[in-house]
Amino acid sequence: MFGVGYVGLVTGACFAELGNDVICFDTDVRKIAMLERSEVPFYEPGLAEMIARNVAAGRLSFTADPKVAVEGSDIVFIAVGTPMSDTGHADLTYVRQAAVTIAKLLNGPKIIVNKSTVPVETGDVVAGLIEEYRTTHYDVSVVSNPEFVREGSAISDFMSPDRIVLGTADPEVGETMRLLYAPLNAPVILTNVRTAEMIKYAANAFLAAKVSFINEISRLCEKLGADVIDVVTAVGADHRIGTTFFQPGLGFGGSCFPKDVMALRRISEKSGVEPHMLRAVLDTNEQQQDHCMQKIERHFGGDLAGRRIAFLGLSFKANTDDVRESPSLRLAVRLIEAGARVTAHDPIAVENAKAVTPVELECVDSPYAAAEGAEALVIATEWNDYRELDLGRLRELVAQPVLFDLRNIIRLDDARKLGFQVVGVGRGSQGTASALPQARGV
Ligand code: NAD
């Protein structure tokens, strides 16, 4: 396994759990050293235990030497990062580096599997680099096997996938890959490399589109006095639509959706296909984040200078410490830049957030400590810890009982009974739209 990030480490550990011998390599020697000390470089539920179990069983090992990883393997996975470049295209630097390293170390026939999310034609790029840098002539086949796990539930997603996508031109290689995944008992979609690459981008773009769609509808609900919660429940009850990735909030973020939709948009532009939908998905997402900021600004009459705000949640979604492209962290930074005195809390993402913020971020270790003397509470990430907040205790602590519930996780009635003024997302009929004539409590 090349890369022990969120995808590579989960994939490596899960394949070991299924009984394979897995060697994980990463160019980041700090991460490998941590893993050798039985420390996991990031938070993912259940992963530490799974790693420990499989290391103890002798099926999972870590190395900073690519030779050990390549020479000891029949199948080599590339699960390195493919971040967004300055131009919005996927940056393939790490994929290229991995391919060159593997090419130089080939000691026998290998299947090279691209698990990173990559633009269509990257399989050809990897195959070309292998040809260019190899010094031996063993059979090598490049397969595309995109990954669909979600951070926060990556292990159960890997073990119970909706489908396995395998892109290869070689039926024998396809069969070997199918057998590797056979214990999962999942439908396998066997196709060519380019189609497999396209499937991953199309899947992420569609999910992002669902989020942007319901965010736009939520803004309309606010204007027209409708309640988006009931809209989601009723529309999502249609099995053709469903309620997953169909909740309004602060906009999508994370290491995948923003970069993958942008990369597909660039691919589309380059191919001469006008990306109307993709552009709208990205624009709507930006607008949603602006809209949430404006809700808070409006409450304070446009001047946030010196305002004390308790800010709950920094990770891009619950159950992860990942803050890459986090709309929550971005909002916290915007509030600070606008002059607000923000006191933030997150169950596990504080260190990662502090490491990447351009501003001084004051963090405390409980939501109640954050709430002390606050003129507004903002719930930015849908952690279960925040669903279960003791609102009565919070009411005692805050200076002003104003709650911006940007994930719609607080029960409005409970909060209002305690005297909270609650501003949710898309809850027009519940009195959260300041533009609404009959708006209550805003
Ligand atoms: P990550 O940044 O967490 O991890 C990437 C790892 O690759 C890092 O540890 C880095 O040091 C290592 N690396 C870089 N160059 C290397 C090289 N030449 N050899 C060996 N290791 C190298 O990234 P991630 O979140 O795991 O994502 C990996 C890929 O999977 C991306 O293409 C991403 O789009 C895709 N993906 C991610 C998710 C997710 O939820 N994070 C889900 C599906 C697909």
Ligand 1 center to residue 119 CA distance, Å? 15
What confidence tier does 436 reach under pLDDT thresholds 50, 70, 90? very low
311 and 389 together in one domain: yes
Contacts of 182 (CB under 8 A, 6+ apart): none
Percent of the chain scoring above 90 in pLDDT: 96
Which of 165, 255, 317 for a ligand 1 pocket mutation test, highest count of atoms within 8 Å of Cβ?
255
For ligand 1, atom 27: residue with the closest CA:
81
Q: How far apart are CA 118 and CA 104, in angstroms?
A: 22
Phi first, then psi: give them for residue 369, nearest 5 degrees: -65, -40
Contacts of 394 (CB under 8 A, 6+ apart): 367, 368, 371, 377
Identify whether 256 is a catalytic site residue.
yes
Indicate if the pLDDT at residue 369 is higher than 90. yes
270 and 370 together in one domain: yes
256 CA closest ligand 1 atom index: 34
What confidence tier does 107 reach under pLDDT thresholds 50, 70, 90? very high
164 and 301 together in one domain: no
Query: Which of 342, 415, 339 is closest to 376 using CA atoms?
Result: 342
80 CA closest ligand 1 atom index: 7
Q: Which of 133, 165, 191 is the last residue of a domain?
A: 191
Residues having CB closer than 6 A to ligand 1 are: 2-8, 25-28, 31, 79-82, 94, 97-98, 101, 116-117, 147, 149, 151, 255-256
132 and 276 together in one domain: no
The CATH number given to whatever domain includes residue 256 is: 3.40.50.720
Ligand 1 center to residue 79 CA distance, Å? 5
146 CA closest ligand 1 atom index: 44
Count of domains forming the chain: 2
Q: How confident is the prediction for the chain on average, in pLDDT?
A: 95
**What DSSP state is assigned to residue 427?**
B
For ligand 1, atom 2: residue with the closest CA:
81
Ligand 1 center to residue 123 CA distance, Å? 17
> What tens digit of pLDDT does each residue of 77-103 get?
999 999 999 999 999 999 999 999 999
18 and 165 together in one domain: yes
Contact predicate 1/23, CB 8 Å: yes
**What DSSP state is assigned to residue 26?**
-
For the question of whether the overall pTM of this predicted structure is more than 0.85, the answer is yes
The reply to whether 402 falls in a domain is yes
The reply to whether 115 falls in a domain is yes
**Average pLDDT of span 217-244:** 97
Containing domain of residue 410, as a range?
A: 225-423
For ligand 1, atom 41: residue with the closest CA:
6
171 and 262 together in one domain: no
151 CA closest ligand 1 atom index: 40
The reply to whether 219 falls in a domain is no
Say what the pLDDT of residue 82 is: 97
Q: Token pair for residue 161?
A: 């996938």
181 and 303 together in one domain: no
Q: How far apart are CA 223 and CA 406, in angstroms?
A: 17
Ligand 1 center to residue 165 CA distance, Å? 18
Torsion of CA 98, 102, 103, 109, to 10 degrees: -140
Contact predicate 89/51, CB 8 Å: no
Say what the pLDDT of residue 358 is: 87
Q: How far apart are CA 279 and CA 178, in angstroms?
A: 36
Ligand 1 center to residue 250 CA distance, Å? 25
Per DSSP, the three-state class of 227 is: strand
> What tens digit of pLDDT does each residue of 291-325 get?
999 999 999 999 999 999 999 999 999 999 999 99
Indicate if the pLDDT at residue 439 is higher than 90. no
Ligand 1 center to residue 82 CA distance, Å? 7
140 and 281 together in one domain: no
Q: How far apart are CA 136 and CA 105, in angstroms?
A: 9
Say what the pLDDT of residue 349 is: 97
Contact predicate 16/92, CB 8 Å: no
31 CA closest ligand 1 atom index: 9
Per the residue annotation, which of 24, 221, 256, 292 is the catalytic one?
Answer: 256
What confidence tier does 431 reach under pLDDT thresholds 50, 70, 90? low
For ligand 1, atom 9: residue with the closest CA:
5
Kindly report the number of other CB atoms within 10 A of residue 158's CB atom. 20
> What tens digit of pLDDT does each residue of 27-47 get?
999 999 999 999 999 999 999
**Average pLDDT of span 349-366:** 96
Q: How far apart are CA 231 and CA 196, in angstroms?
A: 34
Kindly report the number of other CB atoms within 10 A of residue 294's CB atom. 13
Helix and strand counts by DSSP (H, E) for the chain: 18, 13
Percent of the chain scoring above 70 in pLDDT: 97
